[in-house]
Structure 1
Amino acid sequence: MDFTFQEDQTLLADTVRRFMVNEVSPELIRELWSRPSGRSPDLWRQLAEQGLTGLSVPAEHGGMGMGDVDWVLLAQECGYHGLPAPLLESSWVAAGLLAALPPNDTRDRALVGIADGSLRVALGHAYSPLVADADQAHLVLLEQGGRLFAMPSNRVALTAQESVDPSRRLFTVEWESEPQYCIAEQAAPLMEQAFLLGALAAGAQLLGLAQRMLDLAIDYSAERKQFGKPVGSYQALKHQLADVAVKLEFARPVVYRAAHAMAHGADAAAAHVSHAKVAAAEAALLAARNAMQVHGAMGYTWEVDLQIFMKMTWALDAAWGERSLHLARLRAHVLAPDAALGPGSTFEEQE
């Protein structure tokens, strides 16, 4: 199996990286934390102008019709730069759910709006009951009684909930199911697919966050001095940073494998996604802990950028299923009597 990304995929990721270097800075993130909305309309407009809001939308609805493997590199960049916008939730997860529905007026209008950036969609799920960015959404997708509803924002009541990450705006949603807003009678398979996309998106972001915190720690270890020498010259800190690099290197292909499984509808896609979420979360949490060791108590302060990405890591670790849930799913897959395990199930024989 070839996990090499195609040239157009890496070029798109490079373009997104350059955009975010210029437009998404720690200073902007801090500024948005102090705004009541916590969001920047200008940043969202720029994302739409770059075509990023329509990546998952089929071409007939004004999008680019790209898939999960294309998204996974972009999600890493969103994590690395701490993008304070619901791009992944609305334009990957929710758009993917809507695109899987049979054509209807509500679904088609929503996809066109997502593609041009004029409409944002939030999603509530049993495994993620707090709805991210529900206050910014025009539609909120919710399940009740086995049916899926696309509720307009003026038909739901929102209550803000505190998050360890001020960039992650969470809400409880109170609503009454109204038949005219039902868009699918059988919601279970759609919600499972959306849950897997959400967990994959969180895992890819955690990869980016881990790399960002590792880079910050490396840079700071060259600047901070003790006993007249940079702390990065001490063997103990070198080992800590090396541990993060190794953990990250092993987590990255696991996330890519999960994206490939989702894109190709593999039977074990759910297990691959759970593995990816767990591996990426462990790498990011280790990066946060060891980067804090390098920074010392300064790492918790407002002025140091590390605290921004640590908070995002802690929030995403619990988003779209906690590690205990994903470990249970992975355990059930591995211990199943008919589990397809071993190299014979991983690699195809070549004649």
Structure 2
Amino acid sequence: MDFTFNEDQQALRDSVSRFLMVEAAPEKLREIWQTDAGRSSELRAKLAEQGLTAMSVPESLGGLGLGDMDWSLMNQELGYFGIPDSLADTAYLACALLAALPPTHALRATWLPQIADGSARIALGHPVNPWVADAHLADLLLLAHPTPHGTQWHALTLDQVKHTPCASIDSSRRLATVEWTPTPQTLIAQDAQGQALADDLLDRGALCASAQLLGLAQRMLDLTVDYAAQRKQFGKPIGAFQAVKHQLADVVTKIEFAKPVLYRAASAMSQSEAQRSVRISHAKLACADAGWFSARKAIQIHGAMGYTWEVDLQMFMKRAWVLDAAWGDRGFHKHRLSHALLADDALLGPGATFVTNP
């Protein structure tokens, strides 16, 4: 199995990184987050021009037709630059859910082209997440309704729901509780099909959060390395002290060990492997641990000033904390992982790493 990203994938990642370095600088994000909406239509339009909103849309509907492996790279960049999660919610998660509907379903032809050109914002409600992100700006809400026979999915517009804002420690997040009533007119999938969509969305959402956490871990490490090179004590940069070097090296180790776990999970998702949920839970735990550890060491080296609004670190640190619990907290993913590992027929050991569909 080859985990090497091809030249096109690396070129796309590098071009997006250069674009975000200019268009999503921390000072610009602060200005956006202090607005009432917390979002910038201008930034979204520029992201669409870069092709990010069209990545997962099928080529027949105006998209690029890219998959989970490509998004494992892009979501790291979105995490690294602190881009609000509504972009991935629409362009990656909602797009995959709509694309999984029957080819003749009206929602596919209506909304996928709008996702591709960046004109649509879609909010997602899943039982694993108690709040809905960006509900206040959504052109369409795709909401799950659990039933004894499986999960129903309903498509609603903003005037069909009541949303109440919820505060978050992360200024980039716009969360809300959403009250709504399922009706036959809003129903788009149910029973086994609806449950399959819910399971697929949960796995893909956890994979998305994992990649963003890894990007956040790397950004916090880079910020801390820069700070350690500039901050001086006893006439020399604090980065010259062995104790600081060791802590930064520990963060690098966490990040590098999490990367192959993430890419293996993305491969499992793209190939619809039978054990993909186990791989993804492993990735969420590894990437969440890397994000949490990087934040802890960064705030330790920055000192208390790292938590203040003026310092960039707090933007990425707080986001890592909230993504730690998004799309299933650690307890949820540990339960899924332990259930698979302790099963009588569990495939364990190095020889089982690349087994796809046992």
TM-score of the superposition, structure 1-length normalised? 0.97
Once the two structures are superposed, what CA deviation does each residue of 1:127-183 show, in whole Å capped at 9, x if it has no partner? 012011111211111122331111111111100001110101111100011211211
In the alignment, the residues of structure 2 paired with residue 34 and residue 299 of structure 1 have an alpha-carbon distance, to the nearest angstrom, of 20
SS at match of 1:53: coil
Q: 1:147 aligns with which of 136, 142, 152?
A: 152
Secondary structure at 2:344 match in 1: coil
- Cα deviation for residue 347 of structure 1 reads 4.4
Deviation at 1:58, TM superposition (A): 0.7
Q: Distance in 1 between matches of 2:4 and 2:235?
A: 45
User: Displacement of 1:219 after TM fit?
Assistant: 0.6
Q: Which residue of 2 aligns with 1:69?
A: 69
Q: Name stretches of at least 5 consecutive residues in structure 1 with no aligned partner.
A: none
Determine if the alignment matches structure 1 residue 272 to structure 2 residue 279: yes
Amino acid at match of 1:77: E
Task: Give the Å deviation of 1:287.
Answer: 0.5
Aligned-partner residue type, residue 138 of structure 1: D
Give runs of ≥4 in structure 1 deviating > 6 Å. none
Aligned to 2:290: 283
**What is the CA-CA distance between 1:84 and the residue it aligns to?**
2.8
> TM-score, structure 2 length as denominator?
0.95
In the TM superposition, what whole-angstrom CA distance separates every residue of 1:274-314 from its partner, at most 9, and x where no partner exists? 01011001011110010111111111111111011001101
Counterpart-to-counterpart distance in 1, 2:251 and 2:344: 35
Distance 2:116 2:161 in 1: 24
- Cα RMSD of the aligned pairs, angstroms, is 1.1
Q: Is 1:95–1:114's contact at 8 Å kept on the other side of the alignment?
A: yes
> Counterparts of 2:169 and 2:196 in 1: how far apart (Å)?
31
Counterpart CA distance in 2 for 1:345 and 1:310 is 35
Contact 1:44 1:85 in 2 (8 A): no
Instruction: Report the counterpart of residue 320 of structure 1 in structure 2.
Output: 327
1:14 corresponds in structure 2 to 14
1:98: how far off? 0.7
Residue identity over aligned pairs, in percent, reads: 55
The letter for the 2-side match of 1:126 is: P
Equivalent-residue separation in structure 2 for 1:345 and 1:30 (angstroms): 46
2: CA distance, partners of 1:55 / 1:31 = 27
Q: Is 2:243 the counterpart of 1:236?
A: yes
| Aligned equivalent of 1:181, options 173, 181, 186 | 186
Q: Indicate the residue corresponding to 1:114 in structure 2.
A: 115
Q: What letter matches 2:67 in structure 1? A: G
1:324 maps to a residue whose letter is G
Would the aligned equivalents of 1:168 and 1:315 in 2 still touch at CA under 8 Å?
Answer: no
Q: Does 1:132 pair with 2:137?
A: no
Letter in 1 for 2:21: V
What is the identity, as a one-letter code, of the residue corresponding to 1:184? A
- Counterpart of 1:253 in structure 2 is 260
Provide, for residues 248-299 of structure 1, a one-character-per-residue CA deviation record: whole Å limited to 9, x for no partner. 1000110111000000011110011101011001011110010111111111
Cα distance in structure 1, aligned partners of 2:7 and 2:258: 22
In 1, the alpha carbon distance for the partners of 2:350 and 2:257 equals 17
Structure 2 distance, partners of 1:114, 1:294, is 42
Amino acid across the alignment from 2:153: L
> 2:279 corresponds to which letter in structure 1?
H
1:86 shift after superposition = 1.3
Task: Find the aligned partners of 2:223 and 2:76 in 1 and give their Cα distance.
Answer: 16
Q: Which amino acid aligns with 2:99?
A: A
Deviation, structure 1 residue 346 = 2.1
Q: For the residues of structure 1 that align with 2:332 and 2:353, how far apart are their CA atoms? A: 24
Aligned residues: 348
Partner of 2:24: 24
In structure 2, C-alpha distance between the alignment counterparts of 1:280 and 1:185, rounded to whole Å: 33
Using the alignment, how far apart are the partners of 1:329 and 1:347 within structure 2? 19
Q: In structure 2, give the amino acid aligned to 1:160.
A: P
CA distance in 1, matches of 2:171, 2:2: 39
Q: Does residue 208 of the first structure (1) align with residue 209 of the second (2)?
A: no
Equivalent residue of 1:147, what SS? Answer: strand
User: 1:161 is aligned with what amino acid?
Assistant: C
- Conserved? CA contact 1:29–1:84, under 8 Å: no
Query: Within 1, Cα distance between the matches of 2:20 and 2:354?
Result: 37
CA distance in 1 between partners of 2:172 and 2:83 (Å) = 9
Asked whether the 8 Å contact 2:98–2:107 carries over to 1, the reply is no
Q: 3-state DSSP class of the match of 2:156?
A: strand
